[in-house]
Amino acid sequence: MNVPAHPGSPLSAPPPPVRPRRVEGGLEAPGARVAAALRELARELPLAVTVRGECMAPTLRDGDRVAVAPARRYWPGDIVAFHTPQGRLALHRLLGYRLAAGRLACVTRGDRCSLPDPPLAPERLLGRAAVRPTPRERARAALALLALAVRAAGRRLKLEPFAG
């Protein structure tokens, strides 16, 4: 039953049906609602996450439990949690930021992975793992991002014809 907002106001109309929002690649990405719910939960209390896989070893090993909580800022070297396009929760190291399609994107990679993950919008980050990176890990993350940028610039230079 609808109730007026205040005396004398007309009955409010029922809310419109919720429609999936459009995101890159079609309708709502798999797990987007779950990611939003996890983000909301993490604002109240840190989430306990069980690590599956060895892509972050030796820092995080299969079966380790780690707390994940949102942060105001995410720095290169932080281990961040995010939802992958396949709907899985991932814990990977943040290498830094870059522009992708005219927007700021996070560059992440597992410590044991040779390639970075696809660019990730900062709002898709669920939080930072309660594992403090060492100065060496922060420096390695920044150097890895620099190496990726140099490789990308080299590929662009090889593709552009010489105009001289």
pLDDT of residue 60: 94
Domain annotation covers residue 127:
yes
Evaluate whether residue 58 is within a structural domain.
yes
Answer whether residue 87 is part of any domain. Answer: yes
Question: 137 by DSSP, 3-state: which?
Answer: helix
What was the pLDDT predicted at 159? Answer: 63
Question: What is the DSSP code (8-state) at residue 16?
Answer: P
When pLDDT is cut at 50, 70 and 90, the band that residue 55 belongs to is: very high
Q: Find the CATH number of the domain harbouring 83.
A: 2.10.109.10
153 — pLDDT class (breaks 50, 70, 90)? confident
pLDDT in tens, 79-126: 999 988 888 889 999 999 999 889 999 999 999 999 999 999 998 899
Distance CA 20, CA 70 (A): 25
Number of independent structural domains in the chain: 1
Domain of residue 125 covers 32-158
Residue 26 lies in a domain: no
Q: Do the domain assignments include residue 43?
A: yes
Q: Coil, strand or helix: which one is 81?
A: strand
Q: What digits encode the pLDDT tens for the residues 124-138? A: 899 999 998 999 999
Question: What is this structure's pTM?
Answer: 0.69
Using H for helix, E for strand and C for coil, what is the string for 19-43?
A: CCCCECCECCCCCHHHHHHHHHHHH
- Other Cβ atoms less than 10 A from the Cβ of 86: the count is 9
Nearest CA to 80 out of 115, 114, 116 is that of 116
